A and B are shown apart, each in its own frame.
Chain A
Amino acid sequence: MNDTLISLAIIFSQLSLLAFGGGNTILPEMQRQVVEVHHWMPASEFSALFALAQAAPGPNLMVVTLVGWHVAGWAGMLVSSVAKFGPSSIVTILALKAWERFKDRPWRKYAQAGLVPVTAGLVAASAALIARASDTTLIAWVITAVCAVVAFKTRVHPLWLLAAGSLLG
Chain B
Amino acid sequence: MDKIADNMDQNLSAAEAGLAPPPTVSEIFSGFLGLGLISFGGALPLARRAIVEQRRWLSASDFTDLLGLCQFLPGGNVINLSVAIGMRFRGLPGALAGILGLIAGPSLVVIGLGVLYEHTQNDPHIRHLFAGLAAAAAGLLISMAVKIVLPLWRKPVATIIALLGFVAIALLRFPLLPTMLVLTPLSIYLASRTAR
Hey, which bits of chain A sit against chain B, CB under 8 A?
14-24, 26, 28-29, 32, 36, 44, 47-63, 65-66, 69-70, 77, 81, 85, 87-89, 91-93, 95-96, 99, 106-131, 134-137, 139-141, 143-152, 157-159, 161-162, 164-169
Q: Please tell me which one of the listed residues B74, B183, B192 contacts residue A88 in the complex, with CB atoms under 8 A apart.
A: B74
Distance between A68 CB and nearest chain B CB, rounded to angstroms? 10
Q: Are A134 and B159 in contact (CB under 8 A)?
A: no
Residues of A within 8 A of B41 (CB): 54, 157-159
What 0/1 readout, one digit per residue, does chain B (33-56) give for beta carbons within 8 Å of chain A? 000111111110000000000000
CA distance A132 to B195 in the complex (A): 37
Q: Are A16 and B75 in contact (CB under 8 A)?
A: yes
A-B contact count (CB 8 A): 359
Chain A's closest residue to B95 (CB) is A93
Tell me if B15 is interfacial: C-beta within 8 Å of chain A: no
Chain A's closest residue to B187 (CB) is A114
Chain A's closest residue to B111 (CB) is A69
Assuming A19-B74, A92-B70, A166-B129, is B135 touching A135 (CB within 8 A)?
yes
Distance between A167 CB and nearest chain B CB, rounded to angstroms? 7
Q: Are B170 and A129 in contact (CB under 8 A)?
A: yes
CA distance A146 to B143 in the complex (A): 10
Tell me if B12 is interfacial: C-beta within 8 Å of chain A: no
Assuming A57-B106, A88-B75, is B114 touching A130 (CB within 8 A)?
no
Distance between B63 CB and nearest chain A CB, rounded to angstroms? 14
Q: Are A164 and B184 in contact (CB under 8 A)?
A: no
Q: Chain A: interface secondary structure?
A: helix
Tell me if B18 is interfacial: C-beta within 8 Å of chain A: no
Tell me if B144 is interfacial: C-beta within 8 Å of chain A: yes
Q: Are A126 and B145 in contact (CB under 8 A)?
A: yes
Residues of B within 8 A of A147 (CB): 135-136, 138-140, 142-143
Residues of A within 8 A of B84 (CB): 92-93, 96
Residues of B within 8 A of A161 (CB): 136, 139-140
Q: Are A18 and B177 in contact (CB under 8 A)?
A: yes
Q: Are B107 and A81 in contact (CB under 8 A)?
A: yes
Assuming A113-B195, A162-B137, is B74 touching A18 (CB within 8 A)?
yes
Residues of B within 8 A of A66 (CB): 110-111, 113-114
Residues of B within 8 A of A61 (CB): 76
Assuming A57-B106, A93-B83, A148-B139, is B162 touching A124 (CB within 8 A)?
yes
Residues of A within 8 A of B189 (CB): 114
Q: Identify 9 new A-B residue pairs, CB closer than 8 A, beyond the known A65-B111, A127-B138.
A: A29-B169, A51-B138, A56-B106, A62-B107, A91-B75, A124-B162, A126-B145, A158-B140, A168-B132
Q: Are B144 and A130 in contact (CB under 8 A)?
A: no
Q: Are A85 and B79 in contact (CB under 8 A)?
A: yes
Q: Are A134 and B137 in contact (CB under 8 A)?
A: yes
Chain A's closest residue to B75 (CB) is A88
